Amino acid sequence: MHIMEGFLPVEHAVAWGAVALPCVALGLRSIRHAVRERPELKLLVGVAAAFTFVLSALKLPAVTGSCSHPTGTGLGAVLFGPLAMAPVALIVLLFQALLLAHGGLTTLGANLFAMGVAGPLVAAALFRAGRLLHLPLGLTLFLAATLADLATYLTTASQLALAFPDPAGGFIAALAKFAGLFALTQIPLAICEGLLTVLIFNLLARHSAGELQELGLTPVRQGGARP
């Protein structure tokens, strides 16, 4: 992640695009509904998009045909739900493919599914589970962002293993190889992303407390915080 231009077989590239694009449409509807009901949330949407763009632009060489980097999608998935990150990731990935030679157009669907669908789904699910279990908010955010990052890379490793199965061990052996190579750089990167996500959320809680309360992510203060 991102898988480079032309690296996937054509049929794989088309299939991942067909899977990812409906998620973008659902995500656009989700964002429109959120900002129509609460126009003040537009600033937080911008923050989530900028966070995703900046983090995902930092790349380290990992395995042939790909690279390792933070994803930044956990924050937006926690704030607005997992679907909202699909259109955000599409914009980010298009910009990076066209202007930074990072990823590609033929692999856009696969990269979009890994970064904009799989990772955010894990982040949102883990965050909800943490709230139900009454875990500390900081710990819940850290786990959601960290494991969402790792889920993105496990998805990318699966995509590469499907496209290039091991001649002897097939998909499972190829998945173990790709995931193992990613793990060398991605585990520490994921931990750093989790810590940074908690830091950014704390800053938002300080400067955008009303919006976070509207989203139900922080408790409403005594006397009511709503205008």
**What is residue 223's predicted lDDT score, i.e. its pLDDT?**
45
- Per-residue pLDDT of 91-115, as tens digits, reads 999 988 888 877 889 999 999 999 9
Q: How confident is the model at residue 222 (pLDDT cuts 50, 70, 90)?
A: very low
Cα angle: 166, vertex 162, 22; to 5 degrees = 170
- Per-residue pLDDT of 125-169, as tens digits, reads 999 999 999 999 999 999 999 999 999 999 999 999 999 999 999
- For the whole prediction, is pTM greater than 0.85? yes
**What is residue 198's predicted lDDT score, i.e. its pLDDT?**
95
Residue whose C-alpha is closest to residue 43's, from 211, 201, 214, 218: 211
Q: How confident is the model at residue 38 (pLDDT cuts 50, 70, 90)?
A: confident
Estimate to the nearest angstrom the gap between the alpha carbon of 111 and the chain centroid: 10
* Domains, the chain: 10-214 (1.10.1760.20)
Measured CA distances, 15 to 66, 79, 208 (Å): 19, 29, 40
- Per-residue pLDDT of 168-211, as tens digits, reads 999 999 999 988 888 878 888 899 999 999 999 999 988 888 88
Q: HSE (CB half, 13 Å, CA atoms) of 40?
A: 10
